A and B are shown apart, each in its own frame.
Chain A
Amino acid sequence: MKLPPLILLIISIIIIIAPLQCLNKTELTVLTLARPFTYFYAKTPSPDTITLEAYQSLKERDKLKFLEQKTNELTSEIILLKNENLALVNKLKSVSDFRQIAPSGINIKENYHIVLAEVIIKSDVSAWRRSFLVNRGYNDGLQAGFTVVSGKYLVGKVSDIGPSTSRVQLITDPAFRSQVMILPPLEATVTDTASAPLTGANLPGKKADKKNTPAAEGKPRPNGRERQQVCFGVLAGISFNRSIVKWVSRELQVSNDWDVFSAPDPNAITPSGLIVGTVDKISIDGYFYTLGINPAIDFYNLNSVLILVPKK
């Protein structure tokens, strides 16, 4: 089939600038065909049945052969059921883990419905994007923008939605944006850079002096961290299986082992306190820090995730 390149170029540009909602729905509807991927290796043997009369009518040698065959089948069935049981226990654990964390006092049970979704396609074909496909869609009450978690870890958000499949945009995807808070580790403390100028002793990356901790001064530390020790920023992916946090104020001196959590969301779509990762690189960008984040979770090992549907 011969087509002038100009026509295809024009068609590509038209598709790119066409309304996203319509195209995404079509894309995800086509991807419903990928649902069987989850059952790729899960095949349950159909139970073989035989009546008592038929069994008694068998010859002694055939009876023995039949029993041997039946024992083998039952053994394999037990192994399959045990595996299935283990998978279900893991799923249940991830739901109960999530319900137990109750980040920043939010009652998950009162604020969110939890939808358990299985990962159909674990990786994105594009070298630059980070996403996966799950087996839940708008028929299950999902909408674009809903938060996706695994236990107490933030995984990403639902980006495109189809009838029974959705695409989850990971926190490492370049288009991902979310507000996060950065807190020092429980045992560390923070020096206010306004009162302490940036010198060799308090350069980013060096641990602060433990003598200045509120605990050492006899002050109470709610939840192990001081409220004033929190700073906020915008989480964005960079597609290297890493993320960055931009626009972090330099009022506080952030160091390498600080933890990153999801920040309170005014729309109550994302609960605050979900673990994102740890700071492992700090660069100064004018009045702000840009922090390199090592995500706390390996996205390729996820087989199922939880999608939080806010209650109205």
Chain B
Amino acid sequence: MKNSIFIILALALIFLETIFFYKLEISGVRPDFLFVLIFFIAFNTPMEKSIFPVWLIGLFKDVISQSGLGTNALLYLVSVLVISLLKEVVFKDDTGIQVVVLFLSAWFCHFLNGLGLLLFYGTPPFGYIVLKSFTTSLYTVLLGGLLLIAFYRIQWHIRWRASQPR
């Protein structure tokens, strides 16, 4: 898929997140659908091509959220590097393996985010960081699976349209 499509999907997800997805929150934990898109990009695109759109999406998220500008851009960039390394060592066509990699990378990204907050502001406590990053990743995988299927459908549709003779 082209970078422009990734950006459009990210903007749509950010828009939905601000007006609707926060309602899915349970006890302060909500799924991170934007990370599912990051995972999809990183898993299905060569690393050299995926880092720029992912970095840009992180920057969009920073503008909308309270996080310092560049924080999510950096986090997503590191996550892409980790996912790219992981996809080299696993059988990437297996759905189960994709779900496991999504969970691990989401946990890694959220844990790093929480750790940054702890270092900068002194809260949340370390135990909360471990708990929250785990529950958020689990919730993301549970609900984000459907979104991942939707992304694959969009990719398949775009490829099918491109293969049609004009």
Contacts and interface: CB of A to CB of B under 8 A. Distances in A.
A13 B48 contact: no
Interface stretch (A53-61, A128-136, A257-265): A128-136
A56 B28 CA distance: 63
A123 interface: yes
Given A8-B55, A30-B63, A128 B74 contact: no
Interface residues of B, number: 51
A124 interface: yes
Given A127-B110, A173-B66, A238 B125 contact: yes
Interface string A220-264: 000000000000000011111110100000000000000000000
A15 interface: yes
A172 B23 CA distance: 17
A3 B67 contact: no
Nearest to A126: B65
A104 to B, nearest CB: 27
Interface stretch (B88-96, B113-121, B142-150, B151-159): B113-121
- Size bracket, chain A contacts: 35 or more
Contacts of A172: 28
B22 to A, nearest CB: 4
Interface centre among A125, A130, A244 (most CB of B within 10 A): A125
Contacts of A167: 66
A16 B125 contact: no
A123 B20 CA distance: 9
Contact of B28 (A126, A175, A239): A239
Given A16-B70, A131-B66, A237 B123 contact: yes
A240 B123 contact: no
A289 to B, nearest CB: 14
B40 to A, nearest CB: 18
Contacts of A239: 28, 117, 124, 128, 132
B51 interface: yes
B3 A122 contact: no
A129 B77 CA distance: 20
Contacts of B104: none
B136 interface: yes
B34 interface: yes
Interface in A115-166: 121-131, 159-160
Contact of B72 (A5, A40, A126, A169): A126
Contacts of B120: 175
A240 B32 contact: no
A12 B61 CA distance: 13
A23 interface: yes
A5 B63 contact: no
Interface string B6-40: 00000000100111001101011110101000000
Contact of B52 (A8, A121, A125): A8
A31 interface: yes
Interface string A89-129: 00000000000000000000000000000000111111111
B29 A240 contact: yes
Given A30-B63, A121-B19, A175-B120, 17 more contacts: A1-B52, A5-B47, A8-B52, A9-B74, A18-B69, A23-B68, A27-B69, A31-B63, A37-B18, A125-B14, A125-B34, A126-B66, A127-B110, A128-B132, A131-B66, A172-B28, A244-B123
22 contacts: A2-B52, A5-B47, A5-B77, A11-B70, A24-B69, A122-B18, A123-B17, A124-B66, A125-B17, A125-B61, A127-B32, A127-B110, A129-B65, A172-B28, A173-B66, A174-B117, A174-B124, A175-B66, A175-B120, A236-B123, A237-B123, A239-B28
